[in-house]
């Protein structure tokens, strides 16, 4: 029997009930949201459950939603069941003023660099990470460049020549 989105949703609902929300299937990929304090429990269940076996972390990143008060940062996990070739997406939201999320490095070794990059660009503090330091930006940076906190370039500037920038 092949693994379907309905089967995955049923297994997760049996285990976690209504704690998991926002079920969607954009382009056929099952997507749902979990409370941030349950992220490791959900990931562990998806990893260990014999029928599910989501044992490959394809990607981990963050998204900044400045208009969602209390849920400004979303940490997004893309998981892959290699045996059945099924992918799913898990989201957890956190407050930008206290961006603490539990690390997934105990389950997925690949989470190490992905979490460091997410910390580096969005400022998500992965609790329990073995080496949460900047990975691409300089250590002296006191801001997180991928957050939407900075104004876009001023289009009325006259101190540069647009021809040099291909415009």
CATH classification at residue 34: 3.30.460.80
φ and ψ at 90, to 5 degrees? -115, 135
Work out whether the CA dihedral 117, 123, 129, 135 comes out positive or negative.
positive
What is the longest distance spanned by two Cα atoms in the chain? 65
Task: For residue range 2-16, list pLDDT tens digits in order.
Answer: 899 999 999 999 999
pLDDT at position 150 is 75
In a domain, 70, yes or no: yes
In a domain, 148, yes or no: no
In a domain, 125, yes or no: yes
In a domain, 96, yes or no: yes
In a domain, 162, yes or no: no
Domain count, the chain: 1
What is the domain extent for residue 99? 5-131
pLDDT at position 2 is 85
CA 45 distance to own-chain centroid = 17
Asked if the model's pLDDT at residue 167 lies above 60, the reply is: no
The residues, ordered by sequence, that sit 6+ positions from 28 with a Cβ below 8 Å of its Cβ are 5
Q: How confident is the model at residue 91 (pLDDT cuts 50, 70, 90)?
A: very high
What's the mean pLDDT in 42-66? Answer: 97
Nearest to 15 by CA among 43, 54, 57: 43
φ and ψ at 117, to 5 degrees? -65, -40
In a domain, 62, yes or no: yes
In a domain, 150, yes or no: no
Q: How confident is the model at residue 162 (pLDDT cuts 50, 70, 90)?
A: low
Q: Say what the pTM is.
A: 0.89
């Amino acid at each position: 029997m092949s693994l379907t989105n309905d089967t995955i949703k049923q297994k997760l609902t049996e285990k976690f009930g209504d704690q998991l929300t926002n079920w969607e299937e954009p382009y056929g990929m099952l997507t749902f949201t979990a409370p941030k304090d349950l992220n490791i429990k959900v990931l562990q269940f998806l990893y260990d459950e014999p029928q599910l076996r989501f044992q490959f972390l394809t990607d981990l990143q963050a998204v900044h939603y400045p208009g969602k008060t209390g849920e400004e940062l979303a940490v997004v996990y893309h998981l892959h069941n290699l045996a059945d070739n099924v992918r799913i997406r898990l989201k957890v939201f956190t407050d930008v003023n206290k961006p603490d999320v539990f690390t997934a490095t105990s389950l997925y070794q690949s989470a190490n660099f992905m979490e460091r990059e997410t910390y580096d660009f969005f400022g998500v503090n992965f609790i329990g990470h073995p080496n949460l330091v900047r990975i691409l930006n300089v250590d002296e940076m006191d801001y997180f460049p991928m957050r939407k906190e900075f104004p876009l370039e001023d289009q009325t500037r006259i101190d540069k020549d647009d021809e040099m920038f291909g415009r």
